[in-house]
A = this chain, B = another copy of it.
């Protein structure tokens, strides 16, 4: 199909498709003339993937590029796969600097209580080593919540962790055996079901709230 056909199939305007081509987010088509090329089903698939990652998962084009790089050159072992997936998913929110310690916290003022709390949580559950980048990220998120006046008692964090374990068990069970399918399921599957999980949380809150306090 021509680029206009690709636009029609995907619902993405031609100008945006040309932008994806220029930015390397979409592979070039088969040239048929100096200014014309033909596109196929692989282009439709790629455009839909880029669109889902930007629109639904809310990724920047820079983060999409990193996801595509991992998909196009998947790691060969399951161990490397998870590492690559975590790196891509950490890169996602890099611009937000959420891991930046607030003044008054951090090593200069003695041990960071949030780092210690995050490390304890992963140690208790035997989740990951305490020098994993996810632990520093969690500490930053806990610190931000507390700075905004949100209490996070142990029982509450335990409930979040329980919910996360339920989801993660299903995540891992849904990963196929083949390398390319596995990397796509872990990286794209996690990024695109993050917003699903957060929507379900809000729906379940409505129900739980109605249970404790009927409409007044």
Q: Using a CB–CB distance below 8 Å, which chain A residues touch chain B?
A: 8-11, 45, 48-49, 51-58, 77-79, 82, 86, 89, 93, 96-98, 100, 102-104, 122, 125-128, 132, 134-135, 137-138, 140-142, 144-145, 147-153, 155-157, 159-175, 184-186, 188-190, 192-209, 211-213, 215-216
Contacts of A190 in B (CB 8 A): 201-202, 205
Considering the chains assembled together, what is the distance between the CA atoms of A196 and B197 in angstroms?
13
Considering the chains assembled together, what is the distance between the CA atoms of A163 and B163 in angstroms?
4
Contact B209 A78 (CB under 8 A): yes
Contact A149 B188 (CB under 8 A): yes
Q: Which of B48, B163, B173, B204 contacts A197 (CB 8 A)?
A: B163
Contact A144 B204 (CB under 8 A): no
Q: Which of B11, B199, B216 contacts A134 (CB 8 A)?
A: B199
Closest residue of B by beta carbon distance from A211:
B172
Contacts of A161 in B (CB 8 A): 200, 204
- CB A141 to nearest CB in B, in angstroms, measures 5
Contacts of A137 in B (CB 8 A): 199
